[in-house]
Amino acid sequence: MSKALLTVSDLCVDFETEHGVLNVLDHVSFNLYPGKTLGLVGESGCGKSVTSLALMKLLQKPYGCIRAGSILFKGQDLVQCDAKQMQDLRGNRIAMIFQDPMTALNPVKTIGSQIVEVFNLHRQELTKKERYQCALEMLRKVGISDAQFRMAEFPHQLSGGMRQRVMIAIALSCEPDILIADEPTTALDVTIQAQILDLMQDLQKENGMAMLFITHDLGVIAELCDDVAVMYAGRVIEKASVIDLFSQAKHPYTKGLLDSIPQLFNDGKGALKTIEGQVPSLLNMPTGCRFRNRCQYSQQDCKSLDHNLDTHSENHQINCKHWREIKDA
């Protein structure tokens, strides 16, 4: 495998709240490779979005802070970077697409001016005219018809799918090395979803950028990603290639997640499978394995599990003491 573009190791993020310090991310580690897509999957509140914001250092101070760990990007540790350096990176080398295209565009500025702004920030050597031309080019690239006309329109005049295309155009304007997509298709309907995913894949092929794709939709993961990291309550509990994950998931939580997908061929009879119990509150997280209060295989020694991943194969790691004993259902 080629050299990693971005290496996140042992990233810990704490949130200071009125109720005390919450350990939101616990030793999260993963790599991003050029031209590859890593899917980050997990249920709501497990820390997916916080991970993406932490990579951009966009956590809101004083509530969220990176307590430990490093984010190495081209030999530079982003955790140590100051505000100015981060501003130069954001939108330029690392770009981000947000979940809701309805709110992520500035309602009082035209589409054109919002794309041009990226060039104003990061491509100051271009003339005004060139910036406009580049923006127009980007808009065409993401498949917006009548781009010239759309440049002068406001976000509220565009449909959701088109707005997400505009967001993608903004994110990809400077041909970033890394694209972080935080549930970019959640707010869209299924046909548009497929179009947007295709578009992102095409653009990735063109640019060779690394992509971190955050979602809770396993279908999207299967469609788009090369590797998957499953998160649960602030920890990465299983990392595998996408084929391994769907064919031979090892962690009880991942298994449960996959079992919860409704199957087409069981006639719609029988109850929908779920994982019993609730995600523990971050305030009183159990020691050791964070999943053990819901896990049917849990044993006494699960209390002593730490964040380290157990290796199954080079590409497949599991954060569980007993994964070997669990038989495939």
Partner 1 sequence: MNFLSPQGQRRLQKFKSLKRGYYSFVLMISLILLSLVAELFVNNRPLVVQYNDQIYFPTYGDILPGTIFGYDYQWETNYKKLESDFVKSQNGNWMIMPIVPFSPFENNFIEGEYPPYPPSISSKHYLGTDMAGRDILARLIYGFRIAILFSLLLLTVTYVIGVSLGAVMGYLGGTFDLVFQRIIEILSNVPILYIIMIVASIITPNFWTLALLLAAFSWMGLTWYMRTETYRENTREYVLAARAIGASNTRIMFKHILPNSVSILVTFFPFSVVSGITALTSLDYLGFGLPSPTPSWGELLQQGTSNLEYQWIAASAVAALSIVLTLVTFIGEAIREAFDPKKYSYYE
Binding site for partner 1 (CB under 8 A): 56, 58, 86-92, 95-96, 98, 100, 103-110, 112-113, 117-118, 121-122, 152, 154, 156, 167, 170-171
Q: CA angle, corner 246, sides to 211 and 327, nearest 5? A: 140
Cβ of residue 56: shortest distance to partner 1, in angstroms? 6
Cα–Cα distance measured from residue 66 to residue 232, given in angstroms and rounded to the nearest whole number: 19
Which residue shows structure tokens 């495939």?
A: 328
Cβ of residue 220: shortest distance to partner 1, in angstroms? 21
Cα–Cα distance measured from residue 268 to residue 211, given in angstroms and rounded to the nearest whole number: 36
Whichever of 90 and 216 has its CB closer to partner 1, that residue is: 90
**What is the DSSP pairing of strand 37-41 with strand 227-232?**
parallel
Cβ of residue 64: shortest distance to partner 1, in angstroms? 13
Whichever of 47 and 112 has its CB closer to partner 1, that residue is: 112
Q: Which of 302, 90, 285 is nearest to 180 (CA)?
A: 90
Cβ of residue 43: shortest distance to partner 1, in angstroms? 21
Whichever of 115 and 320 has its CB closer to partner 1, that residue is: 115
Whichever of 93 and 255 has its CB closer to partner 1, that residue is: 93
Cβ of residue 137: shortest distance to partner 1, in angstroms? 17
One-letter amino acid of 237: I
b (16+ CB within 10 A) / e for 26-42: bbbbbbbbbebbbbbbb
SS3 of 219, please? helix
Whichever of 6 and 245 has its CB closer to partner 1, that residue is: 6
Whichever of 154 and 246 has its CB closer to partner 1, that residue is: 154
Burial group, residue 81, by CB count within 10 angstroms (0-12, 13-18, 19+): middle
Cβ of residue 37: shortest distance to partner 1, in angstroms? 19
| Main-chain phi, psi angles of 8, to 5 degrees | -100, 125
